[in-house]
Amino acid sequence: MPNLYDRVMLKITGKQRYATQAMCDNGQRVYQPLEDEKTVDRLRAEVGLSPVAGYLAGMDKSYDRCPPGQRL
């Protein structure tokens, strides 16, 4: 349930652990603030998730690329 954990923690603390919550920023899909950027891929692997770079690329394929110059 990393998705749920991240969603809740973003509301409570403003930071997520697994980088499951992303947004568009100037045409790039980026994850929202993290607890610890250095350990995110290790933490993701521990719960069976792929590395962040592949996850964000997959979101672009599933939801189309982010519109240039727009923040969503």
pLDDT per position as a tens digit, 16-63: 999 999 999 988 899 999 999 999 999 999 999 999 999 999 988 898
> What residue type is 68 in one-letter code?
P
Would 69 be classed as within a structural domain? no
Which pLDDT value is given to residue 69?
73
pLDDT for residue 72 is more than 70: no
Q: Which domain holds residue 29?
A: 2-63
Would 68 be classed as within a structural domain? no
Counted domains in the chain: 1
Which pLDDT value is given to residue 23?
92
